[in-house]
Chain A
């Protein structure tokens, strides 16, 4: 396995890993920087970052996703240094919920459900598996329109009416697809014994 060989310090394996991934990383960074030399520097920092963080890398995770996550961080650092990416306040304004994100109803406020990193990772992995199962089912059945619909709703956060207009569906059809998808994911949350209050989107329309 390539990563194991890199961990053992094999120069050939490191060259092979660079050859396999540098092009796509460079394309990712350069698309944003619009500066080839700067993009090469960011990729260089990404590869060094990968080696220095290798003791923390869990090989069950996708290597490509891990490299892209490092590249995104290095790119963000670069854009901050260049003054292109504004710094954010360390804390949200107190006394308000500017995000409008706190779960409604019986769900607890986010501030009261601080969880351990390990617990969060377990919850995330379990939900990713449930989402992946549903997405794979759409792909197997060739339900591309349903997949596109839920992707716009949850990944881009579009409103039902905008999704309907983009995909040539009625708002009722979008609502039905959303209802069916959310019901399946809720069922998975129950089956897996996950806490409901850390996935507020799934319950925000509950009575």
Chain B
């Protein structure tokens, strides 16, 4: 029961987008962690491996191309990074899909507000990539 709110389905749809993104990224990250240990059984016991894994200069995938190439070869770390990217994309997907939801509702005010937010968000990505 809402006082003056949106119909139920708006909240349900936004809620499902968030849940979907979370479930998907959790599964991918967990598989990546499992795969890392399967490929490197020594990680369960070795003391030295951790320092290599958490060294700032260590080579781990941090470009989209590196992630996709790595995931094809089923490398654990690349799979984890893919899951992390899905997690990062979830709030952005939430904003983008909200525009569609408000449009279907013919809620012009909130369609505009959400479009402004998405444009600002994309602008910050562009500026971030440039800077």
Q: Do A and B bind each other?
A: no
Partner-B contacts on A (CB < 8 A): none
